[in-house]
Amino acid sequence: MNSSVNHPATVETGRLLSPPGFDVEAIRRDFPILHQQINGYPLAYLDSAASTQRPIQVIDAISRYYTHDHANVHRGVHTLSHRATDIYEGARESVRSFINARSTREIVFTRGTTEAINLVAATLGQRLTAGDEILISAMEHHSNIVPWQMLCERKGTILRVAPINDQGELLFDEFEKLLGKRTRLVAITHVSNALGSVNPVREIIASAHAHGIPVLIDGAQAIAHQSVDVQALDCDFYAFSSHKMCGPTGIGALYGREALLETLPPYQGGGDMILTVSFSGTTYNELPYRLEAGTPHIAGAAGLGAAVDYLRQVGMDNIASHEAELLTYASNALSALPGLQLVGTAAHKAGVVSFNVDGIHPHDVGTVLDQHGVAIRAGHHCAMPVMERFGIPGTARASFAFYNTRAEIDQMIDALRLAIRMFA
């Protein structure tokens, strides 16, 4: 039974009330990196929005691949090549099933979210002309801003930005007003990495589709924290990174609706993306290979496949429920500290708390917390326009994953109390 509501606070401080069947201590045993001392304190890793950690199952899958199964994919007649291809394509099927895409033809492996968005900007962008518009929001990560700005420089397209309110929520009416005759794509984040706001992506997609406009969702911060169903969302593209979902760095995926992917020109040229090459002309391979030039990150796919299997085993509803509880606990504890302001107080939030403390720069907060074993991020979180919107240079940000506990949040709060005393 996976209840998505918060459980009543009937447990003592420092212990987690978990959804039934969810054993956070058992989960933590799967993550070797979590069991170490940092500066004399147990590590409290509260920086999963930057990158999650990996369970041993993922590390083993990568090690097993290199130890027993490595060869190039889609090429060899020999056994190892078949095994490597099976592992690589098996991971594609795992990802397809994880996000409920119709076909593995819709799953393009990339280096990560950033490359996935750049792929769309480069290919779909190729057919845009001066005056065409791309609509994003004011809470985007740089990776969903800069590729479009570069497209604007190349093509004379125009970047429109839907505003957010003081809580960090998209102003939906303003967003709708910006959907126009020249809008060619909406590119918007599912969850804000800097504020934690969860966007109403279903409504956004429905509204854009009513105008015949395709929608790209930046799913980097959502994919490991709630179940994602691209058919239910009805999105046209969904981009995400393996390293933010317990998989290895250097790989990610772009989901693309097949009918739309079919119309895209090739992204990069090279091996694997072709059927035949001669100096008189080249024929391109079918989807998704047409969009994956060169030898891919096979070991990365092996790890990503294992990560997806792991997340499914834990259960996305369990994960969402556990993280919602951590978010509530952390938000309440932080708000009770003197001189602390939360930045990003949307009604619908994921497990991210950005905050500032009066008289203490986020960078100093980060250093003091690190000296107490607590890993958070300090700075602009690759979302400088968001910081500008709130008139601040940056924030301290704690972000949660399903392996975090209340005890780790308590450790952060204790260190923050000390920082406040120190800088007061």
* Per-residue binding letters, 341-370, with another protein (x by CB under 8 A): ------------------xxxxxx--xx--
Nearer to another protein, 277 or 422 (CB): 422
The span of 36-44, 65-73, 316-324, 329-337 binding another protein (CB under 8 A) equals 36-44
Among 93, 341, 393, 410, binds another protein (CB under 8 A): 393
Among 39, 51, 103, 313, binds another protein (CB under 8 A): 39
Among 2, 17, 23, 38, binds another protein (CB under 8 A): 38
**How many chain residues are in contact with another protein, going by CB under 8 A?**
23
Beta-carbon contacts of residue 376 (< 8 Å; ≥ 6 apart): 46, 47, 365, 366, 369, 396, 397, 398, 399, 412
Backbone dihedral region for residue 254 (phi beyond 0: left; psi -120 to 50: alpha; all else: beta): beta
Taking the C-alpha atoms of residue 423 and residue 414, their distance in angstroms, rounded to an integer, is: 15
- 152 classed as catalytic: no
Taking the C-alpha atoms of residue 285 and residue 371, their distance in angstroms, rounded to an integer, is: 53
343-352 b/e (C-beta count within 10 Å ≥ 16 → b): bbbbeebbbb
Question: How long is the chain?
Answer: 424
Instruction: Output DSSP code: residue 371.
Output: T
Taking the C-alpha atoms of residue 101 and residue 230, their distance in angstroms, rounded to an integer, is: 6
The span of 95-103, 188-196, 198-206, 377-385 binding another protein (CB under 8 A) equals 377-385
Is 41 near another protein (CB under 8 A)? yes
Q: In angstroms, what is the minimal distance from the CB of 362 to another protein?
A: 7
Of 152, 235, 246, 382, which one is the catalytic site residue? 382
Restricted to residues 232-291, the positions that interact with another protein (CB under 8 A) are none
Is 315 near another protein (CB under 8 A)? no
Nearer to another protein, 162 or 412 (CB): 412
* Per-residue binding letters, 405-424, with another protein (x by CB under 8 A): -----------------xx-
Q: How many CB atoms lie within 10 A of CB 132?
A: 18
Residue given tokens 């895409």 in the structure block: 101
Is 377 near another protein (CB under 8 A)? no
Taking the C-alpha atoms of residue 259 and residue 170, their distance in angstroms, rounded to an integer, is: 29
Distances (CA, A) of 284 to 194, 204, 262, 268: 40, 34, 12, 11
Q: In angstroms, what is the minimal distance from the CB of 395 to another protein?
A: 10
91, 93, 250, 352 alpha-carbon torsion, rounded to 10°: -110
Is 220 near another protein (CB under 8 A)? no
Is 379 near another protein (CB under 8 A)? yes
Q: How many CB atoms lie within 10 A of CB 307?
A: 27
Nearer to another protein, 171 or 384 (CB): 384
Q: In angstroms, what is the minimal distance from the CB of 422 to another protein?
A: 6
Nearer to another protein, 323 or 408 (CB): 408
Beta-carbon contacts of residue 73 (< 8 Å; ≥ 6 apart): 81, 84, 85, 88, 89, 295, 296, 298
Taking the C-alpha atoms of residue 275 and residue 15, their distance in angstroms, rounded to an integer, is: 57
Is 371 near another protein (CB under 8 A)? yes
Among 208, 224, 387, 412, binds another protein (CB under 8 A): 387
Give me the active site residues, please: 382
Point out which residues bind another protein (CB under 8 A). 38-41, 359-364, 367-368, 371-373, 378-380, 387, 393-394, 422-423
